[in-house]
Chains A and B, each alone.
Chain A
Amino acid sequence: MLTEMVRMLKNGETRSLQEIADILKTDISVVKAQLEYMENQGYIKKVALEISCSGKNCNACRRGSGVISMPVMWELKK
């Protein structure tokens, strides 16, 4: 399962957790646990969105107190 996920990422495929769970015939919670393991072992990392601009208290690209909501994404660590 883990090697299959790494293979997908190396091939440049983009998958949702649901898709991976369907492919690997398991639950989303299991896939998430495995992603956490791979992150811990240094194979993958979470994509962290960082935005900065000079505008003080600017809300043009932000949502209230937090950055505009984005899906949580993982990618291979290079």
Chain B
Amino acid sequence: MKQMTIALLGQPNSGKSTLFNGLTGSRQHVGNWPGKTVERKEGYFAFDGKNYTVVDLPGTYGLSANSEEEIVTREYIASGKADLVCILTDASQLERSLFMLADYTGIRTPVILLLNMMDVAEQQGKEISSTSIAKKLGIPVVPIIAADKKSYGDLFKTLKEPETISTMLDENILSDLYKRMERGVFKQVFSLLPEEGIGVYSSSWLAAKLIEQDSMAMEVVWDALSTDDRNKLTALLSQVRDGSLLTGDCKFKWIESLLRDSVAERKKGAPKRSRFDRLATSKTWGKPLSIAIIILGLVLSMVIAIPFMGLFSFLLSALSLLITHGLSDAGAPALIISLLCDGVLTAVTFALMMVVFVFGISLVFGFIEEIGYMARISYTFDNTMAKFGLQGKAIMPFIISFGCNIGGVTGTRVIDSWGQRVTTMALSWVVPCAATWGVVGLVSSVFFGSGAVFVVLSLFAVALLHMVITSKIFGKQLIKDSDRSGLIMELPPYHKPKYKNLLRFVLNRMGDVLIRALKIIILVSVLFWALSYTADGNVENSIIYTIGTFIEPVTLWFGLRWQTFMAFIASAMGKEAALGVLASLFNTSGEAAGIWAAMSGQAHVNTSSLGGALLTGISKAEALAFIYAFFFNVPCLMAVASTQQESHSVRWTFRIVGYYIVTALLMATLAYYIGLLIF
């Protein structure tokens, strides 16, 4: 009985193993390639009076000698043990999977090309003419679906034909492309090699591999050359730069020429770009459009949140009265009533109010991300990053910071240069996290009503300015021009949002923020409540009052009362903490009187007008100063710790912390004096 050995060659996921199993069934032997850890699979089948041995070669991208798998594959093919090589390609993505065939061109072992996954290609609307490709290549080309044994008919028919084991792949077109290589490198290398090639390799194949600096190809040709030619070859190759790019270019041109007129697409693979997308990615209009959409998102999130704030305020008022009366009637001590109503209930209401702002902002940002627009923002802001001296990918940590600054800081790992990384961390602190937006939305809505939109817009504009200045200050010392490198981006197509995903994301984020806010706000509220406690009920004897009034002459320079200054300091621990301070120090009519009034024996505590208490406690100019100080303050202690961990520099972490505290107070001062002029 006649024998024939077939080697299956192809890239990973080309369907090689599926075909191997389909052909050989249970007649398989699995072992290792001699001296290697790479698995060797061999199987057998008989057809039409002939025994076939099938060798499943390791799946590799090409035939370079870059990995153990590629070396095994190369060595097996060079050994001449295979009578026929079957190269499998994924018909649904021929541009990439034909690279294996291009890399094989010049190896003189009979070959047939199997176009696998024809069903997928058909679903994509591709019409592939295997006859046209076969004509160009000079070898049999067989369409197949490896997973469907019924489609093996054409393959068996091809194996039966005697010329199959004698047809060689036509290498002339690819050789001609190599010969057009810049500075005639290929021609010069080719001229030094034996015309008839060496072993299974043609001179053209060897010359291309030598240009790619392939050490195994060098070993093959070394013995076949005279000393003089060896020296010439070494000198020639030492001058070649990016040889793999030069040969790769030729191989891809060859693939393009092969597919030209051989593949037709009924429906275009990539949809035409819409007018909106052209605008969204335009160098001129892309950025203003992004900014307009972000601003619209912020405004919209406030419009959504404000009615809920009113609702929570009403609920707090009703609940507070109920609890107060209920507990008073039950004879509960005033201390407990105060703690529950002034501390816990107020804190819970603050947290809920804050979370409705997070709902709006998450909904808007989640939506633009869900439809694929967020990637366009990254793209359009790339040259802005360049102006900051940063790499384009620095936009990634910034976008993450919109959710959480800690994530933003750790996200800077994406940047290789240390200086760029530290600068990006410093800049990412300016980006307001979800909690910051929650607090800013809440406080600015309480003080400025519908005018809060302008406060938010002014913060947005000043934040951009802050980033420019910060990048100049930090970049001057940390960034080198050589750090800048380009990017190639794959922008996802626009698609309909998956509302389920969007809702899950929004609810998850709200849940996270609410839990964290409740923990921090209640903790801080109770802490400040305890600090204000005095045995005689006189607040002026409390620690917090003593400290507060001691520092107030200084804090007033920044437009901050001692209470708002305390809230500013607390916000550096976690933005939500500011609400905890405000909740305990401004929770009833008049300044810091609520808790103490209750402590001194007044059972009826009024927590119904939280906003009103804040309003009567501080002026609009002071509120503006506080919002600015809060917004530009250090994001939170965890972000500071992450910065130290990621930068590995205590010195730079402290510098960033110091810089943020100073600039936040500076911003507060400016905002205060501007506020005095306006209000």
Contact = CB atoms under 8 A, between A and B. Distances in A.
Nearest to A5: B488
B511 A68 contact: no
Contact of B486 (A3, A54, A62, A76): A76
Q: Is the interface of B mostly helix, strand, loop or mixed?
A: helix
A54 B638 CA distance: 9
A17 B270 CA distance: 12
Contact of B638 (A32, A53, A62): A53
A9 B244 contact: no
B461 interface: no
Contacts of B434: 60
A14 B379 contact: yes
B382 interface: yes
Contacts of B256: 26, 30
Interface string B646-675: 000000000000000000000000000000
B369 interface: yes
Interface in A10-66: 10-18, 20, 26-30, 32-38, 40-41, 43-44, 47-55, 58-64
Given A14-B486, A33-B99, A41 B248 contact: yes
B269 interface: yes
- Central interface residue in A9, A41, A59, A71, by most chain B CB within 10 Å: A71
B375 A69 contact: yes
B71 interface: no
B490 A69 contact: no
B559 interface: no
Contacts of A49: 396, 411, 414
Nearest to B241: A3
Contacts of B485: 9-10, 12, 75-76, 78
A9 B508 CA distance: 38
Nearest to B408: A61
Interface in B381-396: 382-383, 386, 391-393, 396
A60 B396 contact: no
A44 B248 CA distance: 14
A17 B393 CA distance: 16
B127 to A, nearest CB: 16
B486 A15 contact: yes
Contacts of B403: 60-62, 68
9 contacts: A2-B248, A44-B488, A59-B512, A60-B434, A60-B513, A68-B399, A73-B488, A75-B393, A78-B416
Interface of B: 61-62, 64, 66, 93, 95-96, 99, 242, 244-246, 248-249, 252-253, 255-256, 269-270, 273, 281, 366, 369, 374-375, 378-379, 382-383, 386, 391-393, 396, 399-401, 403-404, 406-408, 410-411, 413-414, 416, 433-434, 484-492, 501, 504-505, 508-509, 511-513, 638, 642
Interface of A: 1-3, 5-6, 8-18, 20, 26-30, 32-38, 40-41, 43-44, 47-55, 58-64, 68-76, 78
